[in-house]
Amino acid sequence: MSVNQTTSTYDFSGSLPRHYDDHLGPMFFEPYAVAVANRINPEEVRLAVELAAGTGRVTRHLRSLLMPSARLIASDISEDMLAIAREKLSGQKIEWQMIDAGTLPFDEGSVDLVVCCFGYMFVPDKDRAFSEARRVLRNGGMLIFSTWDSLENNGASLAYRRIAREYLEDPLPECYNLPFSMSDEMQITRRLEQAGFRKLQLEKLASEARSTSAADAAEGLVQGGLIYNELMKRNPAWVDEVRERVEKALAREFGKAPMVSPMSAVVVRAWK
């Protein structure tokens, strides 16, 4: 993972990406990957750039949607995340790159579509990242991205964090709230307008987080997210303890098998 003033320094490596892909991917990210893909007109895209591609869940939908002649560049700052994506999507017409959202290696006006699902929350300099996205887009090109709604509107994540915070001394690490820190539609609008985007459309989309069981959901939440690194730093034995407690809480609130909880995200489209 590259580290500089615009790139997130959070560590999406080791065992975390596999747990993230196996459990959190289908539970949290697949519904919004479909929603984002459904809001793209493939006839307008010759070059698409995906930022924060992670393990390739959105990438797969993009490649299926876009015209065969269109180029798709999928990127992340985590080599371990992209390794899983490359493995899953081997043989498809996708160019893989390590790209920092704050410093895009493309000429001005050369890109038709920029996609970033659940990534901008982790970028320290969001204003610069939005300005970069606008710079590389052609006139009429579109930026589409998603962020999580407030924590209170994401039931399984809230249940997990209520338990995890008992193990994390104050002040809480930034990663505790960061995934849900970009839900304010007025703030998002202001940032995009300051970056120079001329037309915006923001939607809050409610959905359901579905897992085969509360046990699978708990494993993904505890071992597929950044708080896992904080627990491991403090006491590795806490991981199993937290997972067991989260499983019981999820089963009690949302069902043992399947586990179905409410979730909500913001999907944003911005045109240059």
- CATH number of 112's domain: 3.40.50.150
HSE, side-chain direction, 13 A CA sphere, residue 180: 16
Residue 83: inside a domain: yes
pLDDT at 27: 97
Q: How confident is the model over 134-147, as a mean pLDDT?
A: 98
Beta bridge partner(s), residue 114: 49, 143
Residue 226: inside a domain: yes
Residue 163: inside a domain: yes
DSSP-based three-state secondary structure for 104: coil
pLDDT at 13: 78
pLDDT at 206: 98
What does pLDDT average to over the chain? 95
- Joined tokens for residue 77: 């700052």
Residue 225: inside a domain: yes
Q: Reply yes or no on whether the pLDDT at 167 is more than 60.
A: yes
Distance CA 118, CA 131 (A): 18
Residue 2: inside a domain: no
Residue 96: inside a domain: yes
Q: Which range of residues forms the domain containing residue 251?
A: 16-271
Distances (CA, A) of 267 to 56, 63, 180, 248: 18, 20, 13, 31
Q: What percent of the chain has pLDDT over 90?
A: 93
- Kindly give the residue spans of alpha helices, DSSP state H, lying in 66-125: 79-88
* Position 9 confidence tier, pLDDT thresholds 50, 70, 90: low
| Contact call for residues 70 and 41 (beta carbons, < 8 A) | no
Residue 8: inside a domain: no
pLDDT at 14: 80
- What is the total count of domains within the chain? 1
Buried b (16+ CB within 10 A) or exposed e, 81-118: bbbbbbeebeeeebebeebbbbebebeeeebbbbbbbb
* Position 169 confidence tier, pLDDT thresholds 50, 70, 90: confident
Exposed/middle/buried for residue 233 (C-beta within 10 Å: 0-12, 13-18, 19+) = exposed
pLDDT at 10: 64
Residues 6+ apart with CB under 8 A from 38: none
Q: Reply yes or no on whether the pLDDT at 158 is more than 80.
A: yes
Residue 109: inside a domain: yes
Distance CA 238, CA 164 (A): 9
